[in-house]
Amino acid sequence: MPRTEVRRYKHITVHPVAGALGAEIRGVDVSAALDDAVIAEIRQALLDHLVIVFRDQKLTPQQQLAFARRFGEPMEYPQLRGLPECPLITPVLKLPHEQINFGGVWHSDTTYLARPPMASMLYAVEIPPYGGDTIFANQYLAYETLSEGLRRTLDGLVGVNTSTKADASRTREDRLKEAGVEMKVLTSEHPAVRTHPETGRKALFVNQGHTARFKGWTEDESRPLLEYLFQHQVRPELTFRLQWQAGSVAFWDNRCAQHNAVNDYAGFKRLMHRVTLAGDTPR
């Protein structure tokens, strides 16, 4: 599915990596004090491609946080503790003996919050020798490729999102136990289709990890339609698969992209550092 626009950038080099979404930005050291013009083009690339990737970076937690602050306000992750020396950086860790990974289900980050994140930024500190990819899906295209009739139906629906859906909550169990933290029960309602506040485009905004039902519907009534949408919104032609390298930074727009951390590296350690940027109320 081709992109609808090819944009010229003056200060950065942008290479699309899949038909639906995703691009690599080359020649930028994100640990440096970048000019405002460069930051503006990186932000535009994020809006254009939904997921942008920087390779071969060397970042301290403080440098990653400083870079993230150029795009928004970092927020604490509601279910996990941050690094002691930098609490707004959350370690995303899977140890060799653990069977379940963090985030190993299709989701948009923390849509059980009243104001879900604008974006997330993940830095690869230690990766397995193979596996551990992350797949992303374009939710603009997920909405636009539905029938006109279904789009009209969804435009009037509200999704009820919870932090305790089994598929998602089990991916946090190991880290919560290690930190001695109880699972929080958080619930929020959002439009099933949201309008992106910067681009004005509509995006499907339900997800398998957190959406339990539609407002005013029972879970049994909601299940057939949600199951259809969960399958539709991650069709292969709507996705991009990121193969991590040590030093890679991925920055994605949580308002219009979903992701899934692939759990296929049993016996190996994987450590990532994440920054989450505060968002607005979906409309």
259: β partners: 107, 136
Active site residue: 107, 172, 175, 210, which one? 107
Active site residue: 255, 259, 270, 273, which one? 259
C-alpha distances in Å from residue 192, one per residue of 47, 88, 109, 258? 21, 29, 15, 14
Instruction: Check if the beta carbon of residue 38 is closer than 8 Å to that of residue 26.
Output: no
Which residue type does 142 have? Answer: A
Active-site annotation holds for 49: no
Instruction: Check if the beta carbon of residue 119 is closer than 8 Å to that of residue 46.
Output: yes
Active-site annotation holds for 107: yes
C-alpha distances in Å from residue 139, one per residue of 38, 105, 144, 209? 27, 16, 8, 15
Backbone angles phi, psi at 153, to 5 degrees: -65, -45
Active site residue: 48, 109, 174, 253, which one? 109
Active site residue: 172, 194, 196, 274, which one? 274
Active-site annotation holds for 172: no
Active-site annotation holds for 194: no
| E strand or H helix at 168 | helix 166-169
Catalytic residues: 107, 109, 259, 274
